[in-house]
Structure 1
Amino acid sequence: MNLADLAARLIMINIPGPELGPECVQHLSSHRWGGVLLFAHNLQDRPKLVKLMEQMEELCDPIVAIDQEGGLVDRVRFPDSVLTPGLMALGAAGDPELTREAHEIMGRQLHELGFHVDFAPCVDINTNPDNPIIGVRSFGEDPEEVSRQGQAACVGLRQGGVAATAKHFPGHGATALDSHLSLPTLPHSFDRLRSQELVPFQGCVEAGCEAVMTAHITFPDLDSRPGRPATLSQPILNGLLRQLLHFEGVIFTDSMEMKAIAEHYGAGESAVMAIEAGADMIICGRGYPEHKEAVQALVEAVKSGRIQRDRLEESLRRLELMRDSLPTGKRLHYNPHFSEQNEQMRKIVERTITLVRNEELLPLRTGKVLVLSPDLLPLTPLGEMRRSDGALQHMHLEGVDVQEAHYPAETRGPALEHILQQARSCDTVLFTVYARHRLPDATRELGERLLEANPRTVMVSLSSPYVMRDLPNVPAFICSYNYTPLSMQALGKVLSGHLQPTGQLSVSIPGLYQRGHSLSYPAAKA
């Protein structure tokens, strides 16, 4: 293998759409690229995806990866896809066997589409309630519990047929900044990291996790060089992950187009530094020129003696061992297991709904109920929005007279007065909200006015439990952690009293409730 192709085998690239145009075909043919990372914009429908997989295999036979974490971070959302409830929801269920089952379903669906690697699970411990990017992507705040859940997820994905990736090493859960947008720093001591952040990674390594993804975060106690994130740090990747945790699998970088890297280093230099630090595959999620720049930089680094060729070959061997360990199979144009998987997932999701406060407002038995929902909901953690289908499309409330209204991000003037008048005329208001960790000011103000207009207002979080901090006096609070169809169905059953709420908080809500808190009531007899 020539040196340029060897370098390219350590680069994972992105492509622009669901089909390969002439320029993309030429680019994929220019080197033996090691990997391709697909996003939602690449996944128009199953037949086109299968064709895309077949074409890429013919052109460069890459490892194909995806971010399919569950909950909000689900790139594959075909009509016959069975979506998992997300990690904090599974943490609320509190049963690693359910987590394993959910991830086996996830892994099997990905395997039957042709994927090799899932960049999941996220085993960051969400110890900062104001973390802007992890939040409900985490199993919770307890290191041992996150470790148990993370191990179960890794086992499930492997049983489903894809490699699991524990991320974001050595931990992104305590940050107050988003590394997509800036370079966070964690000042924690090594002893703190060893007793907290590293516990789930150690567990996943012991469970046979095939891969680990790095974090674009600086840890001065581990690497004192200013501005040196874990992704580019030899003491962290080689010293901590390889030598201390004895990890022998594949190390993926997080995407090098994130501003934590891109604003400080070029595509070529960052690729060389990551390989020097101990990474095996560089996720070069930029454009075609940057992909080629990364390859050329690695070639020049070898020619100049900065990196030895056998260092690249070492990483290639790890990548080949991982791929060879995965099962082969025919890519399917449809999901033949949909009914079975959907029923299995329904039972899992019904264990996740968490009732946090209830001053005799729930379950809803009779009367007139206003369901108030946001008019826009995000598609991804980075904020891409879509129009809300409405809570009642999947959340069926039996035995009550229901009307639904939507509220925009900024509710002012006549629109606000109309909503408040509707609230006054109802017996109960279900105020459904979405936010990563804190409510937007306008949503919080709307909630305060609703409580004045109708004290029988139930706050329903379709995401984070932390949002209760913004309406701490609400008389009832319930959390579904996400708004997949199965989660909304389970939420409706709990609200109407046909399903017993059994979820428990896997994180503390500062000033209000501790991890493990939950309330319940018996389900009505059928």
Structure 2
Amino acid sequence: MLKKLLFIVVVFTVAFLKAQSTDPLKAKDTLAQNKWVDTLLNKMTIDEKIGQLFMVQAYSNKDEKHSVFIEDLIEKHHIGGLIFMQGTPEKQAQLNNKYQSISKIPLLIGFDGEWGLDMRLKNTYRFPWNMTLGAIRDNSLITAFGVQVGKHCKRLGIHINFAPVVDVNTNPENPIIGNRSFGENRDNVTDKALAFIQGMQSQHVLANAKHFPGHGDTSTDSHKTLPVLDFTIERLDSIELYPYKKLFQNNLTSVMVAHLSVKALEPNVELPTSLSEKVITGLLKEKMNFQGLILTDALNMKGSANYAKPGDVDLAAVLAGNDILLIPEDVPAAITKIKNALSENILTEERLDYSVRKILKAKFWAGLNEFKLVELENLNEGLNSITDKILHRKLVEGSISLLKNESLVFPIQNLDKKRIAYVKLGDADNNDFVDMLKNYTNVDEVSATNLDDLIVKLKRYNLVVVGYHKSNLNPWKDYKFKNNELVWLQEIARTNTIILDVFASPYSLLQIKTFENVEGLLMSYQNSKISQEVSAQMIFGAIEAKGKLPVSIKNVFSEGHGLMSTSLNRLAYSIPEDVGLNSEKLKRIDSIAKEVIEQKMAPGLQVLVARKGKVVYNKSFGFHTDEEKVSVKNSHIYDVASMTKILASLPLIMELEEQNVLQLESTLGSLLPKLKNTNKDTLTVKEVLSHYGRLKAWIPFYFSTLDSITKKPSKDYYREKYSKKFPIEVAKNLYLVKNYKDSIFDRITKADQRLNVGYKYSDLSYFLFKDFIENYYKQNLDELTQERFYKSLGANKIGYLPLNKFPINNIVPTEKDDYYRFQLVQGYVHDMGAAMQGGIGGHAGLFSNANDVAKIMQLYLQKGFYGGKRYFKTETIDKFNHRYYENHSVRKGIGFDKPQIKEEEKATCGCVSNKSFGHSGFTGTYTWADPESELIYVFLSNRVYPTMDNKGLVKYNIRTEIQQFIQDAIIAD
């Protein structure tokens, strides 16, 4: 037995002999560092040396009395450092400058910023917690995180950040570490910690690994008592101490020693490790050969404060081998004790100099030899940058973990076959999650006061997304399910196909009795806005899930488990810089939108910008009308007018071309027998859709239905009520005679052709194609577009006849019609010809919001693929997005508008590629996509309000001016 014990001790000792062979505090310019340190040390009094050992807590949210207290400690007791606590960055910077200016030797400023400065300071950036980061596979992201935190610290005059936590959290009931740990796997914890340290120390901010020797497997909080780790040396070596070995080998600059009772390391179970010479000098310094700074955990914590009185605790910490005494309770008392120890030879000046030298070396390493005050100008901007936002998004995207995907329920496909409900569990906010889900398709929020009613309500749905939302305020907030929530979850899962999305600690899963009936399980870790938005996008396949579980959940999900999901190439949602656009330059759109409204070019508008498959700008401005009663929202829909051509008719025509039902060279006479032997007979599909077929621009069909005297709708053609003879609803309380549809076709058939060959924009061919398409499929365009495209695209805010689907207050009015319908046109198509077809025209009649227009444009940009489904062949998109009559100065493709050939045409800003395509609409709408820049632009307005004579939007080329702004916002590579 004795031999076995000796063997363990020898192995344990050898394991750490070469843990750190170099001095991590050594600067590149060693000579300059030594000179600076020696010069200061040789001039210091005993009192000044002792003062260097103390790092006192300072607040930027306290009164002048506290500031005076800190100043007194600096001036009278020569303290060497401050750890700033709660407050604001502006106030901290001011106090930092004030305190530094009165300190004889520059102060070492410390901070607790495990997930960024937000851990202590308001108005600073918050990154995810370590448990979330522990789920990331790509450790370069953790390095980038360390770099950003380091930059923030540097900007605010912080020299040592007490991070990262390297505790291996093997105890789910740990009350103080938990989410602050990278997880339960020692290797993952070590790798993540190392990546973070390398990033932060690259900015010359000292990292601090805590809490040595390891606080991960405790069930008590050292702030309140002394936690006990009753483990063997073998166990400590293999788990708790494991990360430190690798970190020491990679130039970790400092360590924080925890207040723990570890019998295997310190036989006196009442003596905290932070005060143990065996732990600090014997293990950390001698056996593990750590040469960096050693700090106690806060000495006002009960784990150490309960052991001895203030002053005695501090002396014990120094004698044990600590260099810096963090948050001492009584500095004067501690100084007295240390001075007495020196006079009694309990402590030698040589030992004191040893720590002071290390502290001064650390100050030089952090750049305090060339100390500069914190610059106050643009401080907030420096601590809350676009880079932070992009990185945060990448960290969240890399962390969210798909744990179960039975029957490939995730990501959601075949939206046309899904009826989706959302049910909320938990007591925290869920708005960003729900709003993002609704960007993809109809998702109904379902709730009830009792379980039975809820189950009944859910019967009409074939998929239920259950979101579990808990507070994101801090890592210690309660994450556990309530008992009734567990019951509800099991019953919802038993009776429905579900995707459970957990916005809380993964340890919350330990409460779930069985996952048998849970088809999809997504772990989103935190309930932040970004987590909610990214997670919703993953559910619909816009972003791939790739995280891995950092802790095990019983024997169901092992640590490291995480399924990879595939992208369905749906639009994602992000910020401009994520796709190489400058957000400040895009703000020019806000300014011009304001100008549009102020100059009454339109009462309101929507603008959307997407690039590289991500919507990065989607805003609504103004009101529905000049009465300013209803504000425009992103969910509200506009009459898109002629954009109908490429959003409704063209997809059906392309589909028919792929099916060989028609070809580009097909004649109209061969498709529509009524056109045989007419002047339209030999016109080809290619000619008329390129606007090269010599068709008239338009025919004002409604003129002939007006009374010749009153100039109002004639009783011969209209009635105020629906009947079988008058079934065509043109507007509110206005119904057109049934047989007038035939008259429209006949008038087009008999219309003269233009004499001149060349380009002339015309709506008439779309009247003809509507007739052909509807006869071929035996369905109207409304039904066809919904069933064949919009439903499966998740484009639920686009379609004809909006009053049948949406509340009237969600539909933006167009014109105060005083020439045909004599009413405010709201929910009815503005175009008169489309109205006379019952609101379903091939050339007009479609209503949409910007988001759904963008989905179809993205489908085109992706050459016919979207949402995991191929709608068109690549060659079909190329075939229709081509100018066949460019030599005749025709800029149009087949259906698609194209950039101008003649400068005076102003079809675009002149800043897009020839591969680009789109369309505009008479009501003040516009959309454009460019394969080269990967940009999509959507502009919706009701510029025809109050009347179509309102032409300011057209006169000043507002739509293409905005297009130029977007192009100018592209950041050069």
Under TM normalisation by the shorter chain, which class is it?
Answer: 0.7 to 0.9
- 1:344 aligned to 2:391? yes
Query: Retained in 2: the 8 A contact 1:395–1:491?
Result: no
The aligned residue for residue 253 of structure 2 is 210
* CA deviation string 1:114-153 (max 9, x = no partner): 1011101111111222222222222222223322222111
2 CA distance for matches of 1:201 and 1:394?
43
- Among 483, 486, 489, the alignment partner of 1:444 is 483
The aligned amino acid for 1:123 is V
2 CA distance for matches of 1:84 and 1:392?
18
Deviating more after overlay: 357-366 vs 134-143:
357-366
Query: Retained in 1: the 8 A contact 2:171–2:217?
Result: yes
TM-score, normalised relative to structure 2: 0.48
- 1:522 aligned to 2:566? yes
Query: Is the alpha carbon distance of 1:358 and 1:212 closer, same or farther for their aligned partners in structure 2, counting shifts above 3 Å?
Result: same
The aligned residue for residue 506 of structure 2 is 465
Gaps of 5+ in 2: 1-43, 571-973
Alignment of 1:110-259 (within 5 A): 110-259=153-302
Q: 1:334 aligns to what SS in structure 2?
A: helix
TM-score, normalised relative to structure 1: 0.86
Query: Retained in 2: the 8 A contact 1:147–1:200?
Result: yes
Higher relative contact order (CA 8 A, sep 6+): 1
- Among 424, 445, 451, the alignment partner of 1:372 is 424
The aligned residue for residue 547 of structure 2 is 503
Return the offset for 1:65.
1.1
* CA deviation string 1:453-482 (max 9, x = no partner): 564454433332121110132414322222
1 CA distance for matches of 2:226 and 2:234?
23
- Among 519, 536, 546, the alignment partner of 1:492 is 536
- 1:303 aligned to 2:348? no
Q: 1:321 aligns to what SS in structure 2?
A: helix
The aligned residue for residue 366 of structure 2 is 326
Return the offset for 1:178.
1.7
Return the offset for 1:272.
0.7
- 1:38 aligned to 2:70? no
Query: Retained in 2: the 8 A contact 1:349–1:490?
Result: yes
2 CA distance for matches of 1:34 and 1:394?
51
Q: 1:432 aligns to what SS in structure 2?
A: strand
The aligned amino acid for 2:80 is G
The aligned amino acid for 1:69 is E
Q: 1:357 aligns to what SS in structure 2?
A: strand
- Among 411, 423, 426, the alignment partner of 1:363 is 411
- Among 457, 462, 473, the alignment partner of 1:425 is 457
Query: Is the alpha carbon distance of 1:347 and 1:429 closer, same or farther for their aligned partners in structure 2, counting shifts above 3 Å?
Result: closer
The aligned amino acid for 2:507 is Y
- Among 502, 513, 517, the alignment partner of 2:557 is 513
Query: Retained in 2: the 8 A contact 1:431–1:447?
Result: no
Deviating more after overlay: 322-331 vs 199-208:
322-331
Return the offset for 1:250.
0.5
Query: Is the alpha carbon distance of 1:461 and 1:303 closer, same or farther for their aligned partners in structure 2, counting shifts above 3 Å?
Result: farther
Return the offset for 1:303.
2.6
Return the offset for 1:161.
3.1
* CA deviation string 1:406-464 (max 9, x = no partner): 9xxxxxxxxx8268756753542423244879977762332322432564454433332
- Among 328, 332, 335, the alignment partner of 2:381 is 335
Query: Is the alpha carbon distance of 1:241 and 1:339 closer, same or farther for their aligned partners in structure 2, counting shifts above 3 Å?
Result: same
Return the offset for 1:201.
0.6
2 CA distance for matches of 1:72 and 1:111?
11
2 CA distance for matches of 1:102 and 1:268?
38
Query: Is the alpha carbon distance of 1:232 and 1:358 closer, same or farther for their aligned partners in structure 2, counting shifts above 3 Å?
Result: same
Query: Is the alpha carbon distance of 1:96 and 1:477 closer, same or farther for their aligned partners in structure 2, counting shifts above 3 Å?
Result: same
- Among 392, 400, 415, the alignment partner of 1:353 is 400
Return the offset for 1:98.
1.6
1 CA distance for matches of 2:434 and 2:389?
14
Alignment of 1:399-438 (within 5 A): 399-402=440-443, 417=449, 421=453, 425-426=457-458, 427=461, 428-434=464-470
The aligned residue for residue 688 of structure 2 is none
The aligned residue for residue 677 of structure 2 is none
Query: Retained in 2: the 8 A contact 1:86–1:136?
Result: yes
The aligned amino acid for 1:62 is L
- Among 527, 531, 537, the alignment partner of 1:483 is 527
1 CA distance for matches of 2:435 and 2:346?
59
Identity %: 27
* CA deviation string 1:16-51 (max 9, x = no partner): 443561453244233222221122x22x2x322221
The aligned residue for residue 785 of structure 2 is none
- 1:281 aligned to 2:324? yes
2 CA distance for matches of 1:488 and 1:71?
20
Tell me the number of residue pairs that the alignment of Structure 1 and Structure 2 aligns.
497
Q: 2:482 aligns to what SS in structure 1?
A: helix
Query: Retained in 1: the 8 A contact 2:174–2:217?
Result: yes
The aligned amino acid for 1:417 is T
The aligned amino acid for 1:164 is A
The aligned amino acid for 1:136 is N
2 CA distance for matches of 1:209 and 1:509?
32
Return the offset for 1:285.
5.4
Return the offset for 1:358.
3.4
Query: Retained in 2: the 8 A contact 1:357–1:477?
Result: yes
The aligned amino acid for 2:314 is A
2 CA distance for matches of 1:282 and 1:55?
23
Alignment of 1:88-107 (within 5 A): 88-107=131-150
Query: Is the alpha carbon distance of 1:402 and 1:257 closer, same or farther for their aligned partners in structure 2, counting shifts above 3 Å?
Result: farther
The aligned residue for residue 119 of structure 2 is 74
Return the offset for 1:318.
0.7
The aligned amino acid for 2:422 is L
2 CA distance for matches of 1:88 and 1:441?
16
Query: Is the alpha carbon distance of 1:73 and 1:395 closer, same or farther for their aligned partners in structure 2, counting shifts above 3 Å?
Result: farther
The aligned amino acid for 2:241 is L
Query: Is the alpha carbon distance of 1:179 and 1:19 closer, same or farther for their aligned partners in structure 2, counting shifts above 3 Å?
Result: closer
- 1:64 aligned to 2:116? no
Query: Is the alpha carbon distance of 1:242 and 1:96 closer, same or farther for their aligned partners in structure 2, counting shifts above 3 Å?
Result: same
Query: Is the alpha carbon distance of 1:484 and 1:297 closer, same or farther for their aligned partners in structure 2, counting shifts above 3 Å?
Result: farther
Q: 2:294 aligns to what SS in structure 1?
A: strand
Query: Retained in 2: the 8 A contact 1:250–1:280?
Result: yes
Q: 1:65 aligns to what SS in structure 2?
A: strand
Return the offset for 1:11.
1.2
Q: CA RMSD in A?
A: 2.9
* CA deviation string 1:292-318 (max 9, x = no partner): 322332222223322122322211111
The aligned residue for residue 382 of structure 1 is none
2 CA distance for matches of 1:274 and 1:211?
16
The aligned residue for residue 313 of structure 1 is 353
2 CA distance for matches of 1:469 and 1:340?
36
Q: 1:70 aligns to what SS in structure 2?
A: coil
Q: 2:58 aligns to what SS in structure 1?
A: coil
